[in-house]
Amino acid sequence: MLLAQLGVACENIPVDLPSGQNKQPAYLALNPRGQVPLLEDEGELIWDSQAILVYLARRYGGENWLPTAPLAMARIMQWLAVSENEIQYGLARARAALQFGAPWNVEDCQRVGRAALQLLEGQLEKSAWLAAEHITIADLACYPYAALAPQSGLDLAPFLAVLAWISRIQALPHYVGMPNMIEMAGK
User: What confidence tens digit (pLDDT) does each residue in 88-129 have?
Assistant: 999 999 999 999 999 999 999 999 999 999 999 999 999 999
Cα 149 to Cα 169: distance, rounded to the nearest angstrom = 15
Task: Indicate the number of domains in the chain.
Answer: 2
Are residues 77 and 51 both part of a single domain?
Answer: no
Are residues 57 and 80 both part of a single domain?
Answer: no
Are residues 44 and 89 both part of a single domain?
Answer: no
Under 8 Å between Cβ of 2 and 57: yes
Q: Name the residue range of residue 95's domain.
A: 65-170
User: What confidence tens digit (pLDDT) does each residue in 19-52 have?
Assistant: 999 999 999 999 999 999 999 999 999 999 999 9
Residue 41 lies in a domain: yes
Residue 184 lies in a domain: no
Are residues 72 and 57 both part of a single domain?
Answer: no
Q: What is the pTM of this model?
A: 0.92
Residue 180 lies in a domain: no
Q: In this structure, what CATH number is given to the domain that contains residue 158?
A: 1.20.1050.10
Residue 178 lies in a domain: no
Residue 171 burial (C-beta neighbours within 10 Å; 0-12, 13-18, 19+): exposed
